[in-house]
Structure 1
Amino acid sequence: MRGPHNIWRLIRTGATFERTGAMRVALEAMEAPPRLRLVARIMGWPFKWLGYKGDPSLPPVTRAITALGPSYIKFGQIMSTRPDVVGAELANQLRMLQDRLPPFDQQVAKAVLAEEFGRPVDEIFTEFSEPVAAASIAQVHAARLAETGEKVAVKVLRPGIEKAFQRDIDAFHFAAEMIERLSPASRRLRPTDVIKHFEGIVTGELDLRLEAASASQFGANTERDEKFRVPLPVWSLSSRRVLVMDWAEGLPMGDPETLKAAGHDLTAIGTRVLQLFLSHALRDGYFHGDMHQGNLKVAENGDIIAFDFGIMGQIDEYTRHVYAEILMGFIQRDYRRVAEVHFEAGYVPKDQDVTQFALALRAVGEPIFGMNAKQISMARLLAYLFEVTERFGMATRTELILLQRTMVVVEGVARSLNPAINMWETAKPVVESYIRENVGPKAALRNLGRTARVLGRFGPQLPDMLTAALENATRPPEPAPEPQPVRGVHLAGAAGLVLLGIVLGVLL
C-alpha cells in the first residue's frame, strides 16, 4: 500500500545513511554545496538512532546501501561505474555491489531447485558448487549436468526478494506522489511515471523465464557480432526462480590490472564495449540494460562476454532515428540540428525558442570536444544539462530512461578501461553507419516498400473503413455526463500529512 506508512521507510533511509556515516561521505564525494551538506546533517541527525546498523566491516556508503536492501543496491551499482561523478575511491567501494554481495546458503539454493523441478538436485547435477557470484537479486553456482556432463551456470533468486522489492517500490511511489503534490514544478520530470517504469523493469527481472527469453533473443540478434558472446539458456531447466545457462569462462572486466597482465588491450576493449552498446541500441532496438563491470567478462581470446539479461531495453524505430540524429548532431557539432530534432520529436514544447535551445546545447557540447575524459567533470556537465532541460520545460521521456541510464553506465565502464576515451569519436563510426542505412535514400525506398505492403493488405477494407469514419463524423455527439465532485488532497493537507508521519515514525 502506498500510504503514509511509507514515510517510515524513507525516514529509515536517511537515518541509515547518517548512522553509518554514509551521509557525509556521499555528499563530499559528489561535491555537494556546503549549505546542502549542513541541511542534510541537521535533518538526519535527530533520526540517526532509527537507522540500520549494517555490516561494520564495510565502507560507510556500501554499508548503508547493503543494509537498506536490493532497490538501493541497484542504485549503488550504477554509481559504481561513475568515478567521475562520485569519485574514484567511492566508485571502487561500490563496485563490490556488482557481484560480491554476501551469498545465501547453498542448501537454501538446493531447496529452491528441488521445489522448482520436483526432484532432488543430485538427480539433475553431478556437481553443484558454492556460490561463485552474488548480486542484489540472485546468486550463481557452477554445476555439471548429469545427463550430458556439460558445465553450466545456475542462477537462483534470493529468498524473499519479491517482497523486499515490493516494499521499497511502494515507498518510492509514495515519495514520488508526495513530491508531485508538494512541488508542482517537479511534475515535468514525471517522477511517478519514472517509478512505474522502474517497477516494470524490476518485475520482469524477478521472473527468470523472461531472462531466459531475453538471453535467447539477444543471442540471436548478436550472433554475427565479432568479439562478442552471449551464453544461451538451457530451456528444459529454467523456471520462474531458476535459470540454467551455458558456462562461459573469462576474466572480470572490473579488474583492469588483471586484464592487462593477461595481455589484453584495455583501450580496444573499452572502445568495443561502447560501440557494441550503440550498435545494439540503434541497429536492433534491443540492448543490455545493465552493462556494468559485474555483468561483463573478457575471454582468453579477447571476446567480450555478457551476462545477466534481467534488464533489457527496447526502443522503436522512430525513436532510434531521433536518437541517432541527436548523437550525429553532437558529433558534427551541429547544435542547431540537434535542437530542431528535439522540437520535431516533441521533446521540447513548441512555445520555446529553437535558437536559444541550440545555444544552450552548444554550452553543453563544446566543452567535450578537444578534451579527454580526465579533463571533463561529468558531474558538472550532467548538472548543467539538467538545468537546460528545466529551463526549456522538457518533460522526462520514460521510454528513454533506460537508454540514457545505460549509456551513462557503459561510458563509465569504458572509462575504467581507458580514462582518456573520447565518447563522441568512439561513437562516430557506429552512428554514421546507422544514418547511412536507415535515414538516407536507401531507407526512404525501404519505407515506401513497407507502406505499399501495408496498403495492399488493408486495401480491400479501405472503402468500408472510410464509410464508417464519415458516419461517425456526422453523427451528433452524445450529451456529456454530469460532472462529479473531485476528491483531492490540498497542498497544506499533504504537507501536514508528511509532518504527522514523521512524528509518528519517531514516537513508534
Structure 2
Amino acid sequence: MYFKMIFEDGFFHADPHPGNFLVVSEDVIGVMDFGTVGRITDETRAQVSQLFVALINKDVSELVDRLIDVGIVTEETDKRLLTYDIDMLMMRYHDISVRQVRVAEALNDLFGVVYKHRVIIPTELGLLLKTLVTLEGVCTMLDPGFNLIEVGRPFASQLVSEKANPLRWAPELLEDLRQLNKLLRTLPQQISDTLKQVGEGKLKVSLDHLGMGGFMNTLRRVIDQLSLSILIASFVLGSSLIIAQGRLLPPGVMPLTFLILVPAALLGLWLVFSIFTSRK
C-alpha cells in the first residue's frame, strides 16, 4: 500500500505510527490522520527509484550519481572522496543478504557518510526517508521477518523499467520539441535586438568578480600606506630644508621644525608596524 502511494501516486501518508491505522476487514486497512503528508514529483520518484535500486545492487558509482541527481551532492562536495567513503560503507554489507538488511540501519549508515561531507538533503526526500524508517519499525513489530527492501524492490524496479521505456519518453520529447521550436522562432529577433543595442552603444554588461574582495581590500591598504609614506616624506623633506637654512631664518622658526618631525616620526613608526602586521 505504502509503496504504491510513493512510487505510483507520488502522494503518501507521512506519519505511519500504529495509532493511524485501522484494520477494517481481513484485506482492508484504513489510514487515519492526514495531518502530515508528503508529495514527490515524477522526476523525484524516478530518482528515488534509481537510488533504491542502486542501494539494493550495492552499485557505488550509480549510488553517488543518483545522490547527485536528487540534489543531495553539491558542487562543493568532493565527489571522489564521497565515492570512496560510500565504497568503504558498502564493503560492510558485501557479505550480507538483502533479506538481512534493515532500511533504518542502512540509511543511518549512508547518511552518516552524507552528513560527514556536509551535503544537503531535500525536504521532500528527508520526509520520505523518515516515513520509510517509521514504516519499517511498525511492520517489524507485526512480523519480525518483514523486510522493507524486499517488498519495495518490485515497485522501484518497475518504475525504473517504465522510465526506460521509449513510449514513456514521447510526451516529454514532444514538449522538448515544442520548447525548441519556440526558441528557434524567437532567437533571430533576440540576436537582432542584441546587435542593435551593441551598435547603439546601449548594451550593458555586468561583471561580478568572484573572490576579488580580498584583493580590493589589499589594494586599498597599499594605497593608504603609499599616501601616508608620501605625507611623511614631505614632512621630513620640508623640515630638513628648514634646518639647512637655519642661520638665515628668524630665531623662533627652528623649534617649529621639531614639532613637525615628532609627528612624522610617530607616523613612520605606525606605518612600519602596520606593514608588518598586514603581512601576518
Mapped to 2, the partners of 1:313 and 1:472 lie a distance apart of: 48
Q: Percent identity?
A: 23
Residues 1:476 and 2:204 are matched in the alignment: yes
- Aligned match of 1:347: 72
SS of corresponding position for 2:82: helix
Q: CA deviation at 1:282?
A: 2.2
Once the two structures are TM-superposed, the CA of residue 297 in structure 1 deviates from its matched residue by 1.8
Which structure 2 segments of 5+ residues have no match?
209-280
* Deviation at residue 328 of structure 1 after TM alignment: 0.9
Letter in 2 for 1:284: D
Change (3 A) 1:407 1:364: farther
Q: In structure 2, how many angstroms separate the alpha carbons of the residues matched to 1:449 and 1:397?
A: 29
- Aligned residues of 1:326 and 1:338 also touching (Cα < 8 A): yes
1:459 Cα shift? 7.1
AA in 2 matched with 1:328: V
> Aligned-pair distance for 1:461?
7.3
1:283 and 2:12 equivalent? no
State the 1:460 CA deviation: 10
Partner of 2:63: 338
Indicate how the Cα distance of structure 1 residues 361 and 414 shifts in structure 2: closer, same or farther if over 3 A, else same.
Answer: farther
Residues 293 and 413 of structure 1 are in contact (CA less than 8 Å); yes or no, is this contact kept in structure 2?
yes
The one of 128, 133, 154 aligned to 1:429: 154
Contact 2:38 2:124 in 1 (8 A): no
User: Contact 2:12–2:39 (CA<8 Å) still a contact in 1?
Assistant: yes
TM-superposed deviation, 1:346: 3.9
**Partners in 2 of 1:438 and 1:319 — Cα distance?**
12
Partner of 1:400: 125
- Equivalent residue, structure 2, for 1:324: 49
Q: Residue 97 of structure 2 corresponds to which residue in structure 1?
A: 370
Indicate yes or no: 2:29 matched with 1:304.
Answer: yes
Q: How many angstroms apart in 1 are the aligned matches of 2:204 and 2:59?
A: 51
Aligned partners of 2:6 and 2:103: how far apart in 1?
26
Between structures 1 and 2, the one with greater helix share = 2
Cα gap change, 1:377/1:340 in structure 2, threshold over 3 Å: closer, same or farther? closer
Residues 314-336 of structure 1: per-residue CA shift (max 9 Å, x gap) = 12222222211110101222121
User: 2:186 matched to which residue of 1?
Assistant: 462
Structure 2 residue aligned with 1:446:
171
Q: Give runs of aligned pairs for residues 17-416 of structure 1, distance below 5 A.
A: 276-350=1-75, 352-365=77-90, 367=93, 369-370=96-97, 372=99, 378=104, 381=106, 383-416=108-141
Using a 3 Å threshold, how does the CA distance of structure 1 residues 300 and 333 change in structure 2: closer, same or farther? same
Aligned residues: 202
TM-score (norm 2): 0.59
Contact 1:340/1:354 (8 A) holds in 2 = no
**Any idea what the Cα deviations from partners look like across 1:80-99, whole Å, max 9, x if unmatched?**
xxxxxxxxxxxxxxxxxxxx
Contact 2:50 2:66 in 1 (8 A): yes
What does the per-residue CA deviation read over 1:459-480, in whole Å, with 9 as the maximum and x for residues that have no partner?
7973598469848997315899
Summarize the Cα distance change of 1:385–1:287 in structure 2 as closer, same or farther, 3 Å threshold: same
- CA distance in 1 between counterparts of 2:103 and 2:5 reads 27
2:124 partner SS: helix
Indicate how the Cα distance of structure 1 residues 472 and 377 shifts in structure 2: closer, same or farther if over 3 A, else same: same
Which residue matches 1:4? none
Q: Secondary structure at the match of 1:299?
A: strand
Structure-2 separation of matches of 1:469 and 1:320 = 42
**What do the CA deviations read for 1:273-292 (whole angstroms, capped 9, x no partner)?**
xxx22222222221112222
Mapped to 2, the partners of 1:350 and 1:478 lie a distance apart of 24
Corresponding letter in the other structure for 1:314:
R
Q: What do residues 331-360 of structure 1 show as CA deviations (whole Å, max 9, x unaligned)?
A: 222121111222344422345454543343
The separation in 1 between residues aligned to 2:80 and 2:206, in whole angstroms, is 45
SS of alignment partner, residue 313 of structure 1: strand
Q: Distance in 2 between matches of 1:469 and 1:412?
A: 62
Identify the structure with bigger relative contact order (alpha carbons < 8 Å, sequence gap 6+).
2
